[in-house]
Amino acid sequence: MPKAVQITSTKNPLVKRIRALAERDAREAEGRMVVEGARMIEEVLEAGVPVELLLYDPLAVAGPRGEAVLERARRQGVRLVTAAPHVVAACSQVETSQGVVAVVERPRAALSDLLNVPELFLVVADRIQDPGNLGTIIRIADAAGATAVLATRGTVDPHNPKAVRATMGSLFHLPVVSATGEEAIALLRRRDVHILVADQAGAIDYEDADYRAPVALVLGNEGEGPDPAWRNVAQATVRIPLYGRAESLNVAVAAGLLLYEVRRAWRKRST
């Protein structure tokens, strides 16, 4: 293993490159993204996602978890680069840097490859704008055992640093794909997927909906709701009742209720 190189200047070309990956255009051009913190990097290494390099402050990763991450990265042949604390902080997208960042390959998958599963459970994020909401939806989808998440065109990039942090590693546990709404609808209809659209003005209470597989659950834009094209092809539009004075639920909260309702319905059906 070559000796690690110490970086002390934020003008270093590698530092500039890492900082540039905060932008979607750079991530798409390189096919790379940045992951921060020992815990998240553990998830990446565990998932087998290719890691190009780790940039770290030796003092910040001196504890057992940090040392274990570095050792695992060494065993996997990851390039290790040490840097001064202010340099690592300059590469971070959070207010308080955790002292280690990684440049990793963006996970890639094609929607057409994900539909041939025995019990398809697809979560569609339709034009979700807030990266925190999208990341939380991905995390909930992972927890509920969904088979994939589809982000339609107009949705914030799932590899946005804030979205990545909000997934808490779930981005590396299940496929997250991107497609236009038109492409997705055409594919789902050809495969006879049961499309359900979450809509506050929906016709059916979410506890009464038919969630039989293969199913795609569509969650719409925070302000506008789902694209009308999804409503037009849906087998049903489902609503979550509001008993107080709130006008609506946060889309990620709604995702939690609906995805676990799918699981409850499947469990009930199998007993």
Q: Which phi-psi region, left, alpha or beta, contains residue 225 (left: φ > 0; alpha: ψ -120 to 50)? A: left
Domains and CATH numbers, the chain: 5-105 (3.30.1330.30), 111-270 (3.40.1280.10)
Residue 195 belongs to what H/E stretch?
strand 194-198
Element (H, E) at 105: strand 100-105
Dist. CA 201–CA 92, nearest whole Å: 41
Chain centroid to Cα 28, Å, comes to 16
pTM of the full predicted structure? Answer: 0.92
Which of 65-80 are b and which e, b meaning 16 or more Cβ less than 10 Å from the residue's Cβ? ebeebbeebeeeebbb
pLDDT (tens, 9 = 90+) of the chain, 271 residues, equals 444 558 999 999 999 999 999 999 999 999 999 999 999 999 999 999 999 999 999 999 988 999 999 999 999 999 999 999 999 999 999 888 899 999 999 988 888 888 888 899 999 999 999 999 999 999 999 999 999 999 999 999 999 999 999 999 999 999 999 999 999 999 999 999 999 999 988 899 999 999 999 999 999 999 999 999 999 999 999 999 999 999 889 999 999 999 999 999 999 887 6
